[in-house]
Amino acid sequence: MFLCAVTGPVRCWMKHCTLRSFGAGRPRLVLGIETSCDETGAAVLDEAGVILGESLHSQKQTHLDAGGIIPTVAQRLHRENISRVVQEALDRSGIEPSELTAVATTVKPGLALSLGIGLDFSLKFVRLHEKPFIPIHHMEAHALTVRMLHPVDFPFLVLLVSGGHSLLAMAKGIDEFFLLGQTLDEAAGDTLDKIARRLSLKNHPECSTLSGGQAIEILAKDGDQLAFHFKSPMGQLFDCNFSFAGLRNQVTIAIQKKEKEEGIETGQLLSCAKDIAAAAQYTVASHIAKRTHRAILFCKAKGLLPQHNPSLVVSGGVASNEYIRQTLKIVTDATGLQLLCPPSKFCTDNGVMIAWNGIERLKQGKGIVSHTQEVHYEPKAPLGLDITTDVKEAAIKIPPLKLRINS
């Protein structure tokens, strides 16, 4: 199954659970707050995953105009908007703070200045209303969002790809993960954004309001993937780690060469921009797919995946890229896994995923602290138990797959 949208049946399934689970009792309600990077998000969910109210303030255009995320600017925008965003989520839900069961907030990992705003607001809120507090690991929240939409059981394989993270992990439980691989330099989304900036795609009429990754995807649809050949990163290393900095360097050299040939200045659009976008997107997708393929084979060899209906869950901002999803579908079809991707609006940072992670923890009584307890944010925080060395030592070679598809 390839889950890519919230459909009628999914919503009906959640509502059915609501009625069945609550009976005459009072539902547990969680307010989720997200400020790990450049999105200020808040949402109120019930324990069946029904979204009662949500609000999101995006800083995308501000940072797009600035050419990248500036932490102090992100901090200021979070500070200016968090109170309004939280109040909007509460107002739209029809829930008073006194009716909440708990508040869940991202405390790790992320930009320190951004995390600080969310945590400071949340601690004041829970102390004012005397509510339990649930600190949330941002990457765990991404990994578990799919369970709000589809009844997927543990264990399952997770691929998280975004502007700040690229990693593969085995999800054993709501707070139990085995880290199989992670980026050694920069994340996939960061690479695509930097390539888009170097191509000056914000000056392209189709891309002026899009993020870098979105611009690459749009232009790549009309580009020739074969016009440029970029070497796939880490081709001779038999692990599940990622590396994208070398690819970005290759693309930069190609752009510089073409600018010289066409006699244009930096900031002007190359005639071959669509071809470069297509070739770069293919190389990123291929690298992600190959590392994921090896992770699947490793997990199968070690008995980490269930024999019945094993799943690969893909989330994070880059998971919204349809070309990358299709490339991963080739891998899951070949290995017998179902590919589960939350809808695009749930792949990017939002308050809903934080509230849902709070619901998951509330149900199992894990990671809940008193409103009087001191909590600190952690800009750098690993996901689970690192077994990347075990993966490398296994040295699993993957069979060839035809990954190049029509963009």
Closest-CA residue to 195 (of 178, 212, 171):
212
pLDDT per residue over 263-280, tens digit each?
998 789 999 999 999 999
User: What separation in angstroms does the CA of 43 have from each of 8, 19, 46, 149, 185?
Assistant: 21, 21, 10, 16, 33
pLDDT of residue 23: 36
- Which residue would you say has higher pLDDT here, 4 or 366? 366
Mean pLDDT of the chain: 91
Helix (H, G, I), strand (E, B) or coil at 183: strand
pLDDT of residue 30: 98
- Quick one: DSSP state of residue 309? S
Q: Which fold has domain 8-145+346-376?
A: Nucleotidyltransferase; domain 5 (3.30.420)
Q: Please return the burial class of 344, using the count of CB atoms within 10 Å of its CB with bins 0-12, 13-18 and 19+.
A: middle
- Quick one: DSSP state of residue 284? H
Rounded distance, CA 223 to CA 67, Å?
Answer: 24
pLDDT per residue over 95-115, tens digit each?
999 999 999 999 999 999 999
Closest-CA residue to 168 (of 379, 392, 364):
392
pLDDT over 80 at 235, yes or no: no
pLDDT of residue 25: 61
Rounded distance, CA 17 to CA 21, Å?
Answer: 6
Can you say how many angstroms the Cα of residue 40 is from the centroid of all Cα atoms in its chain? 15
Rounded distance, CA 284 to CA 191, Å?
Answer: 9
pLDDT of residue 237: 87
Answer for the pair 232, 287: CB distance below 8 angstroms, yes or no.
yes
Q: Any idea where the domains of the chain sit in the sequence?
A: 8-145+346-376, 156-341+386-394
Closest-CA residue to 71 (of 123, 124, 35):
35
How large is the average pLDDT for residues 315-326? Answer: 93
pLDDT over 50 at 351, yes or no: yes
Residue 44, strand partner residues: 31, 53
Residue 396 tokens read as 């699993």
pLDDT per residue over 38-71, tens digit each?
999 999 999 999 999 999 999 888 887 787 889 9
pLDDT of residue 407: 56
Residue 39, strand partner residues: 58
pLDDT of residue 247: 96
Question: Can 8-145+346-376 and 156-341+386-394 be said to share one CATH topology?
Answer: yes
The beta strand positions in 162-234, using DSSP E, are 166-173, 176-182
Flag the least confident range among 20-24, 136-140, 164-168: 20-24
How large is the average pLDDT for residues 219-227? Answer: 95
How large is the average pLDDT for residues 169-191? Answer: 96
Answer for the pair 314, 325: CB distance below 8 angstroms, yes or no.
yes
Residue 160, strand partner residues: 167, 315
CATH for the stretch 156-341+386-394: 3.30.420.40
Instruction: Using pLDDT thresholds of 50, 70 and 90, give the confidence band for residue 17.
Output: very low
Flag the least confident range among 23-37, 161-175, 237-251: 23-37
**CB-CB neighbours of 155 under 10 Å:** 18
pLDDT per residue over 161-174, tens digit each?
988 889 999 999 99
- Exposure string of 120-147, with b = 16+ CB inside 10 Å and e = fewer, is bbbbebbeeeebbbbbbbbbbbbbbbbb
